[in-house]
Amino acid sequence: MALLHTEMHVCVLGGGSWGTTVASLASHNTATTIWCRDEQTVTDINERHINSRYLEGYELHLNLQATGDLEQAVRRADLLVMGIPSDSYRETLAAAAPFVRPRVPVLSLTKGLEQGTRLRMSQVTNEVLPGHLAGALTGPNLAKEILAGGAAASVVAIADEVVAEALQAVFSTDLFRVYVNDDVIGCELGGALKNVIALASGMADGLGTGDNTRAAVITRGLAEISRLGQALGGRPETFAGLTGMGDLIATCSSPQSRNRFFGEQLGKGKTVAQVAADMDQVAEGVKTTPVVCMLADDAGVVMPIASEMNRVISGQQTAQEAYRGLLSRSVRRETDAPQSQAPQKVNRLAP
């Protein structure tokens, strides 16, 4: 397999903050090229070893090379890493597909679901590049903290154990610890679903509700994530780990979180369009939320927090109305799942 070459070449598609950070991490261990659409970003990385658009003030590894030529970036790759938002993931991978050599694994960094198909990114990869091993690198990872030298941990989720261990070596550094997990479904769902809860947590912050409310939203949000994740094939222990609880805590708590920030602005009274216009990066949770609600309906899983966020995002209610729903929650046992087919008892913001 190409991945096991002693001199491996990694290609990362996408010059956003996380794609750039992962490319810089890989550059510690092997030859790495990042493909960026923006010519200035290519110049910044090659000549100044920075990404001034998304990571101003943070230095990248000196060995990282950038290009705006997709064919040049992909053709040599022994590992293809997709740092592309969910709404353009399929299109970008399809454009790269003619240049991807046989059996090259594809690793997604994207924490979202494809609209329309409701597919996870590894499933999209399997459709666009059948026969290629598909997985994800995911976990509680904030790009700027990692580039600043903070310790962090992540997970390579891929079905092949040999490849997984090889990928550990690709991304691991002294301060970036990489674990492996063959539960690709659970790991990908944890990363996508936590963004919905992060919107709710940020919205509560924007409303000025305090730490108690945030803790309640995070905890009950994890229960929602676990219920749907298991219904869709993920393993329970995955949602208690780095790609579930760990990623949820980081994303709901950090001011660096795009989804938490988006929710916070909604809580302060801005519209979805206003917040989106002020952001230069994608908050995946906004597009993921309606998809999650459809998946939950199909699976017969009640997800009150996601349902309320979907109503806010679609303009059916305000953040204040969603919060009032939280306060009017009917009392039940903490460990009981809310019942489907009982709309009069469906919660507004917390299950």
Q: Which residues does the annotation mark as catalytic?
A: 194
What's 48's DSSP letter? I
Helix (H, G, I), strand (E, B) or coil at 296: helix
What is the strand order of the sheet 106-108 is part of? Answer: 65-67, 31-35, 9-13, 79-82, 106-108, 134-138, 152-157, 176-181
Output 340-345 pairs: Cβ under 8 A, ≥24 positions apart. Answer: 340/300, 340/301, 340/302
Going by C-alpha positions, the residue among 88, 132, 92, 87 that lies closest to residue 12 is 92
What does 158-171 look like in DSSP terms, one character per residue?
-S-HHHHHHHHHHH
Query: Which residue do the tokens 């924490």 mark?
Result: 111
Alpha-helix residue ranges (DSSP H) falling in 12-120 = 17-27, 39-43, 70-75, 86-96
Residue pair 299/97 in contact (Cβ under 8 Å)? The answer is no
CA distance 306 to 7: 45
